[in-house]
Chains A and B, each alone.
Chain A
Amino acid sequence: MPLHKGRHLRPLWLAAVAFLTGCAQKGYWLAHPKGAIARTEWHTTILDVAVMGSVVLVAGGLVAAFLWRYRVGGKSRSYDPTFTASLVIEVLVWGVPLMIVGYLSYFSVKSVFATNPYNPLAVRRAVAREARMNGAFTRRADPAGVNAIDPAAHPMRPLRVDVVTTDWQWVFIYPKQGIATVDELVVPVRVPVKFDLTSTTVVNDFFIPQLVGEIDIMPGMRTKQGMIASRTGSYHGYSDDFSGGGFSWMGFATRVTRPAHFKDWVRRVQSAKDHLTDTRFTRVAQPTINLAQKIRHFSHVQKGLFDHIIEQVMEGRVYRTPLAMTESMTKPMKVRLIK
C-alpha cells in the first residue's frame, strides 16, 4: 500500500507542539517582550498565527481527509471524474480567503500605526497608562490634586539617544547629557526613548528583540525609532542586516535601569577622560571588530556631532573598507580586533 498523507503530517504536528512548548522557554526572546512595542508586535504575531493557523489546519485537514478517503484501495466507491466545477465551492474558495485577508488587513493596519517607528502609538499609550497610574496614585495621596505633577519635571519626557553604526561598532550619543558610549546602551525604565539613527558606512539594522523591532540604519540618512521598556534588566541588542566581515560581532549590551541608577550612570560617564570630538570619532569609526563588545565611554561630546556625521557622509565622506577586510580570500585578513 502506498504511504499516505497522515504519516507525512505527523512531524509537522510534533513541530507545532514543540514550537508551542518551546515558546514558553526563556530563549525565545520574541515571546518574552519587555517593552510596549515588542509586546504589541508579539500580540499581533499570536493573532495572526491563530487566524492563519486555523485556515491552514482546515485546508490541511481537508487535503488529508480526501487523500485518505479517496485513495486507491480505500473504502470509497464514489469516484466521480465529472466533479470538476462547482459555483458554491468556487465562491467559497475565493470568498473565505478574501474575508480572512480583509480581517487580517484591519489588524495589520492597526498594528502598523501602533508600532510605527517614527511615532509609535504603543509608546504613547504606555505613557498615558503610566500617567493614569501615577495620576491615580497622586489622587489617592492627594485627593484635592494640589500637588499635581508638574509636566516639566515629569520623568515621562522622552530620552533622546543618537545611534551611529560604524564598521563594526555601535556609538550611542546622549546629546542632552553630552556623553557617548561604544557598544553600550543604558536607558531608564518606563521612560520613552527616542532614537535617531545613522550609519557611517553601509546599512545596518537596529534590533533589541525583547524591547523593540528592527529599523534600518542608513548612511547619509536618518531613521527613527521609539521605545519604552517596562522591566529593568539586561537585554541583547545587535545589528540584523549584513554589513561586512565584523557583522557577527556587532552586538551591544542593553541595560534598562531605574531612573535614579540611570542618573548615576550618566554622571559617571560624564567624568570619562575620553572626549568625543569629530576627529576622535573618525578614529573610532575606523573598521574594527569589537570581539567581546568592550565598552568605552566618552564625555564632552561635540555639539551636533550626529548631524555633522550625516552631513559629511552626504557630502561624500567615505569610510572605506580596505581590500583585506572584504571578501578577499587571498589577502590575509587585517582587521583591528578588540579582544
Chain B
Amino acid sequence: MLVHYPGPWSPLLGRLALKEIPYQNPILVWTFVLVSCAALAIFAAITYHRAWGYLWREWLTSVDHKKIGVMYCLVGLVMFFRGFIDGVMMRTQQVMAVGPQSPGYLGALHGYLPPYHFGQIYSAHGTIMILFAITPILIGIMNIVVPLQVGARDMAYPYLNAVSFWLTASATALVMISLFVGDFSHAGWVGLSPLTELAYSPGVGVDYWIWAVQIGSVGTTLASINIIMTIIKLRAPGMTWTRMPIFCWTALSTSVVGLSSFPVFTAAVALLSLDRYAGTHFFTPGLGGNLMLYTDLFWIWGHPEVYYVILPAFGIISEIVPTFSEKPLFGYMTMAAASIAIGGVSWSVWLHHFFTMGAGPGVNSFFSIASMLVGIPTGVKVFNWAFTLYRGRIRFDLPMLWALGALVLLLTGGLSGMMLAMPAINYTVHNSVFVVAHFHNMLNVVGFAAIGGINFWFPKVFGFKLDERIGKRAFWFFSAGTVVLFGSMYALGFMGMPRRIDYIPFVSWRPLLMSEEAGIFLFLIAAYYMIKQMYVSIRDRAQHRVTGPDPWRTARSLEWLTHCPVPFYNFALLPHINSRDEWAWRRQNGLVNLRPDHYEDIHLPNNTFVPMLLGALAFGLGFGMVWRMYWLAGLSLLGIVVAVIARSFEPDSGHTIPGVRIREIEETLPEELDGMEPVADVAGGVVAFQARTAPRAPAQEP
C-alpha cells in the first residue's frame, strides 16, 4: 500500500535524520539562533515572574472566549510577522537577481536564495499569511466580539472553541518547525497540482504543507460551527435578527461560507495525501488521475476562503465608520443582504482562478459574469459607507483611519478585480504579478480592517487604548508602503512579469523592482512603529487607561454596554435589547447605568487542559505523518480518540458564581462615565443626559 520515495527510512525516526536539519544554511541558522534566543528570553521571563501557574490557569486551559480570541490574535500577529519577513526576503531576492550579470551569494546563482529556498519562502509566505495570520486574527476578533455583540456569556461551545484554537496553534507550530527540521513546500499556498505529487516533490516539504493546512482547516471548520451557533442560539432577549449588529451579520455569513467550504479543502488535501502516501492516482498526470480535479476542488474552497477573510473585514469597517461618523450605519438591511449575497456568490466563481486552463468560451463567460456579480454587493457596501459619512460628524481617530484606508484600497482592488474577471484580460495577466498585486491589494483591505479592528476593540478587552500618535505613524507608513509596493507590482504586471520567479531575466524590470523594495522598506518602518505602538501602550498603560464602557464615546453596539476591560462573565446581568444600536440608544436616552438593580448567579464552564492536549496530539499526528514515523502518528491518533472518549465520561458541569460575588466584583469596577459629552439625538427626540447622575430607568421624558 505505502509508496516508495527516494531516501532512507527507519522504523523509529522515519525519514528524519540528523542531516535533515539544514545547519549548513546560514540564513536558517541565524533565524534559529534568533528564534531560540527569543523563546529562551520568554521562558526565562515567565519563570522569573513565576507566571507559569498564572499562564496555565488563566490562558492555556481557559475556555473564556475573550482569552481564546486574544490567543488567536497573538498567534496570528506572530505569524503575520513571520510572513512579512518572508515577504522582505522575496522582494530582496528579486531586486538582487536581475539579469545574467547579477552576482550570487550563499550558493545561489543570482541573488542570495537558490530557487528551492525561494520556492519554500513564497509558499510559506502565502500559506502563512492567508491561513495562519489573517484567518486566526479574524477568528480571534470574531471570538471576542460576537458573543459580546449578541449579549452572551461565552460561545455556544466554549470547550470546542478551545479545541479549534489549539488545532490552529498546532498547525502553526507545524509550519514553524518546518523552518528548522526539513523543508517546507515549494508548490505555493495553492499546492500546484501535479507539482505536489511525489514524483515532482519527493521531499517532506509538501507533507508539511498538507498536514499543517489540514489540521488548521479542521480547527477553522469547528470555529465556524461555533460562531454560527452562538449567533443563532445565544442572542440576548429582544435581539431580533434585524437588531443584530452588522458585524454579526458578516460573521454569520463568513462562518456559513467557512463551514461549507473548508470541508472541500479537507477532502482535496486528503486525496492529495492519499496520492503521496498510498500511491493512488487522484491527481497524477497518468494512470487515470486528473490534476484539474484538484485545481477545481481547491478553488471551490479557495475562492470562498478569500471571502471568508474579506467579509469580517467588511463587518469591522461597518462598525468603525458609523462610530466615528456619529451616525447609524446607512442602509443596514441592504448591508446585511449584501453580506449574505457576497457569501452566496462566492460559491459560483471559483473557475476564474484558472480561466487559462483552456475551457470553452461558454464556461469562461459564465464564470466571468458570475465573478463580476460580486462587484454589485461590494459596490453597494462602498456606497453605503459613503452615505454613512454623509451628514455625519467625522472624527479621524486611529481605527477610522485604518477603516478609510481599507475603503480606498477596496476601490482600487475592485478595479483590478473587475479586470481579472474578464477572461480576455485575464489571459494577459493571469499568472503574472498583476494578480499578486490584486490579491495583496484585497488582502490589505482585510489587513487594514483587522488592524483597525484591533485598535478599535483593544480597550474593550484590555482596558487601555493603543497609542494613537505612534499608531498613526504606523498607518501612514503602511499606506505609503502599500501604494509604492503594490502600485509598482501592478505596473510590472503590465510588463508581463510572471509571479514566483527567483531570477529576473529582463533588466528592464529592475527599476520597478527597486521601487517595490522601497515599498517593503516603508512596510518595515510601519512594522517598527506597530511593535513600538504595542510596546509603548503596554508600558504606559496607566496613561492610556480608559474608564467607563465606551472609550470612543460614540460607539453603538452592544459590546460597549459593559466594562472596559470586560469582566470574565461579560455582563453582570444579560441585557434586554430594545434597539438596533443598543448602546447608542441607551446613551441617547440616558440609560447608561451599567449596574442593574439586582444580581443573579452566573453559570460558567470549567477550565480544561484537554483542548491543549488534543492540539499537542494533533501536532504529533502531523509531525509523525510528515516524517513517516508511523508509530508516532498512530499513537497520537489513538491518543486523540482516547482523550475524546475520556472527556465524554467527565461530568463537566461547570461552576456557578453566586450573585453576591458578582455584586462585589461589580462594585470594585469603576463606573466613571465622565468625559461623555451629551449627544443631541434628533432621532429619539430625547436630549442630552448627564452621565454621572443618570438614573437607572426610566429616563426623564424631555
Contact = CB atoms under 8 A, between A and B. Distances in A.
Interface of A: 2-5, 8-9, 11-12, 15, 18-19, 22-23, 26-31, 38, 40-42, 44-45, 48-49, 52-53, 55-56, 59-60, 62-63, 66-67, 70-72, 76, 78-86, 89-90, 92-94, 96-98, 100-101, 104-105, 107-109, 111-118, 201-203, 205, 207, 209, 213-216, 218-221, 223-224, 236, 238-249, 251, 291-292, 313-323, 325-330, 333
27 contacts: A8-B404, A27-B509, A44-B424, A62-B383, A80-B327, A83-B327, A86-B387, A93-B380, A94-B380, A101-B373, A113-B361, A116-B361, A214-B431, A216-B357, A239-B498, A242-B195, A244-B115, A244-B119, A316-B287, A321-B201, A321-B202, A322-B202, A327-B186, A327-B203, A328-B116, A328-B183, A330-B21
A50 B425 CA distance: 14
Contacts of B203: 323, 326-328
A251 B215 CA distance: 38
A284 to B, nearest CB: 18
B115 A44 contact: no
A83 B200 contact: no
Given A8-B479, A313-B285, A318-B286, A3 B472 contact: yes
Contact of B384 (A45, A93, A117): A93
Interface in B226-245: none
B551 interface: no
B32 interface: no
Contacts of A48: 418-419, 422, 425
B375 interface: yes
B447 interface: no
Contacts of B206: 327
A329 B116 contact: yes
B505 A71 contact: no
Contact of A214 (B390, B428, B490, B682): B428
Contacts of A118: 358, 360
B116 A333 contact: yes
Interface in B404-458: 404-405, 407-408, 411-412, 414-415, 418-419, 421-425, 427-432
Contacts of A55: 379
A236 B193 CA distance: 26
Contact of B408 (A12, A108, A247, A323): A12
B668 interface: no
Given A81-B328, A216-B358, A56 B480 contact: no
A183 to B, nearest CB: 12
Contacts of B375: 97, 100-101
Contacts of A53: 415
Nearest to A204: B431
A100 to B, nearest CB: 8
A326 B21 contact: no
B331 interface: yes
Interface of B: 6-7, 19-22, 24-25, 28, 100, 107, 109, 114-117, 119-120, 183-188, 192-195, 199-203, 205-206, 284-287, 291-292, 325-334, 354, 356-358, 360-361, 364-365, 368-369, 372-373, 375-376, 379-380, 382-387, 389-397, 401, 404-405, 407-408, 411-412, 414-415, 418-419, 421-425, 427-432, 472, 476, 479-480, 483-484, 487, 490-491, 493-496, 498-506, 508-509, 681-683
B412 A12 contact: yes
Contacts of B424: 40-41, 44, 108, 111-112, 114-115, 213
With a 10 A CB-CB cut-off, give which of B119, B120, B418, B508 has the most chain A CB atoms.
B418
A94 B421 CA distance: 19
A321 B200 contact: yes
Nearest to B371: A108
Contacts of A325: 116
Contacts of B383: 59, 62, 89, 92-93
B280 to A, nearest CB: 13
Contacts of A90: 331, 334
Contacts of B683: 81-82
Contacts of B356: 205, 213-216
Nearest to B429: A30
Contact of A38 (B380, B386, B428, B505): B428
Contact of B411 (A41, A56, A248): A56
Nearest to A66: B389
Contact of B326 (A19, A81, A112): A81
Contacts of B291: 203, 218-219
B428 A323 contact: no
Contacts of A104: 372, 418, 422
In the A-B complex, the 7 residue pairs with the smallest Cβ-Cβ separation, listed nearest first, are A213-B427, A2-B396, A111-B424, A209-B496, A219-B285, A97-B379, A327-B186
A321 B292 CA distance: 20
Contacts of B199: 201, 318-321
Contact of B414 (A52, A116, A244, A246): A52
Contact of A247 (B286, B361, B479, B501): B501
A292 B391 CA distance: 63
A66 B386 contact: yes
Contacts of A317: 286
Given A71-B396, A219-B286, A313-B285, 5 more contacts: A118-B360, A203-B193, A314-B286, A317-B286, A323-B202
B390 A70 contact: yes
Contacts of B476: 3
A322 B114 contact: no
Contact of A59 (B330, B411, B506): B411
A80 B682 contact: yes
B200 A29 contact: no
A213 to B, nearest CB: 3
Nearest to B421: A108
A117 B407 CA distance: 37
Contacts of B120: 327, 329
A169 to B, nearest CB: 14
Contacts of B360: 116, 118
A247 B423 contact: no
Contacts of B326: 79, 81
Contacts of A113: 361
Contacts of B428: 30, 38, 41-42, 45, 209, 213-214
A166 to B, nearest CB: 12
A290 B592 CA distance: 73
Nearest to A237: B496
B94 to A, nearest CB: 10
Nearest to A111: B424
Contacts of B430: 205, 213-214, 240
A60 B415 CA distance: 12
Nearest to A121: B361
Contact of A108 (B286, B368, B390, B484): B368
Given A202-B195, A241-B192, A248-B505, A79 B358 contact: no
A330 B22 contact: yes
B119 A245 contact: yes
A78 B330 CA distance: 16
